[in-house]
């Protein structure tokens, strides 16, 4: 095993976010499930854009946000994800490289276009996403750069990758390469409805040892084990993975291993503007800590620090240097 060149490789749907404010009535009227990721087709994307208010555009995608956060913390991050060779694809590519992430996945020539997610932020700061997957449906095993996987301490991927048809094959291949090189593999469960769509496969990934580490929020973890009781879900998950990091919004997070369970409070914020990216940036901070030999409690604190930055402004990626915030934090 040579020394790794990357702390974390993340793999996900490469998406540009189109973000607007909306009220709750709008979500009801347009049949958008609040606080979730709603998959949409091209026709619905066109309709929703027509009824959407003025928006801003920002590169997003859950694992893309996580990679950006790791880079902002000063970690070495790589990313696999499929854009098209169009203007949104250029924006995505620019932004992830500009923050210092290694991104070399070949863009899709021609159609479908780069994925976009129309995100409606309600007055409570909650985000409701409507994602047209576009070029992401073409991500497959041929996009796995084995060398990058072998050189990354952790390979981390989104549960969302089970939505496009062949990305799961890319993930299984990458996980095999990672483990062949004594690296770790992590998953985020992404969304309660996503868990509902792929519960059996996610549990199989965990129980077969294909993944070592799981990130989930409380709703996703309860969905995974089909229970309304978080304690029950927590007691089950510790048998299925080496490490679980469970986020609970303003209540902070809980880290569970075979040996211990650690509760960590959330980082204080002034104003909640937009929750988009909260879980993604928590994962950034946690994985940065894990790959820089911080104690588990400190990993969770760095996760909370990164999440707190991103929810205090509109947009899913950090707007200031997380490395500076970490240096000032005393963690």
How far, in Å, CA of 185 to CA of 174, rounded? 9
Which of 27, 32, 40, 58 contacts its own copies by CB under 8 A? Answer: 58
Residue selected from 24, 33, 35, 55 as contacting its own copies according to rule CB under 8 A = 55
Does position 110 bind its own copies by CB under 8 A? no
Nearer to its own copies, 58 or 224 (CB): 58
Q: From CA 331, how far away is CA 303, in angstroms rounded?
A: 11
* Chosen residue from 28, 42, 56, 327 binding its own copies by CB under 8 A: 56
Between residue 305 and residue 324, which ones bind its own copies under the rule CB under 8 A? 313-315, 317, 319-320
In the complex, what is the shortest distance from the CB of residue 283 to its own copies, in angstroms, rounded to a whole number? 18
Rule CB under 8 A: is residue 96 a binding residue for its own copies? yes
Supply the minimum distance, in Å, between the C-beta of residue 318 and its own copies. 9
Stretch that binds its own copies, among 2-10, 89-97, 158-166, 304-312 (CB under 8 A): 89-97
Are 244 and 255 in contact by the 8 Å Cβ rule? The answer is yes
Closest by CA position to 257, among listed 245, 249, 269, 248: 245
- With CB under 8 A, what is the number of residues at the site for its own copies? 27
Task: Kindly tell me which of 86 and 191 has the beta carbon lying closer to its own copies.
Answer: 86
Closest by alpha carbon to 155, among 60, 35, 233, 66?
66
3 state DSSP class of 156: strand
Binding residues for its own copies, per CB under 8 A?
20-21, 49, 52-59, 68, 86-88, 91, 94-96, 98-99, 313-315, 317, 319-320
């Amino acid at each position: 095993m040579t020394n790794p060149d990357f702390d974390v490789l993340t793999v996900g749907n490469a998406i540009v976010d189109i973000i607007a404010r909306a009220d709750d009535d709008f979500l009801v009227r347009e049949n958008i499930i609040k606080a979730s990721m709603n998959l949409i087709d091209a026709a619905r994307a066109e309709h929703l854009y027509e009824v959407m208010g003025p928006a801003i555009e920002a590169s997003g995608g859950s694992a893309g946000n996580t990679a950006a956060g790791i880079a902002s913390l000063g970690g070495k991050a790589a990313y696999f994800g499929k854009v098209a060779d169009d203007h949104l694809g250029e924006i995505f590519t620019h932004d992830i490289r500009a923050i210092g992430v290694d991104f070399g996945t070949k863009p899709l020539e021609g159609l479908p276009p780069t994925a976009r997610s129309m995100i409606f932020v309600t007055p409570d700061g909650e985000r409701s996403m409507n994602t047209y997957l576009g070029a992401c449906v073409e991500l497959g095993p041929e996009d796995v750069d084995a060398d990058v996987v072998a050189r990354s301490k952790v390979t981390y991927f989104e549960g969302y990758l089970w939505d496009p048809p062949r990305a799961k094959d890319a993930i299984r291949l990458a996980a095999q390469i990672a483990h062949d090189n004594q690296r770790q593999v992590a998953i985020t469960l992404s969304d309660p409805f996503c868990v509902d769509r792929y519960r059996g496969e996610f549990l199989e990934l965990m129980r077969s040892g294909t993944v070592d580490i799981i990130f989930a929020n409380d709703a996703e973890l309860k969905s995974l084990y089909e229970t309304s009781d978080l304690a029950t879900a927590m007691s089950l998950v510790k048998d299925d993975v080496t490490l679980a990091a469970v986020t609970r919004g303003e209540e902070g997070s809980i880290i569970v291993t075979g040996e211990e369970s650690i509760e960590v409070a959330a980082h204080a914020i002034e104003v909640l503007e937009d929750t988009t990216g909260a879980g993604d940036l928590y994962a950034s901070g946690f994985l940065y800590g894990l790959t820089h030999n911080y104690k588990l409690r400190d990993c969770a604190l760095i996760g909370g620090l990164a999440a707190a930055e991103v929810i205090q402004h509109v947009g899913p990626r950090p707007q200031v240097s997380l490395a500076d915030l970490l240096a000032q934090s005393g963690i």
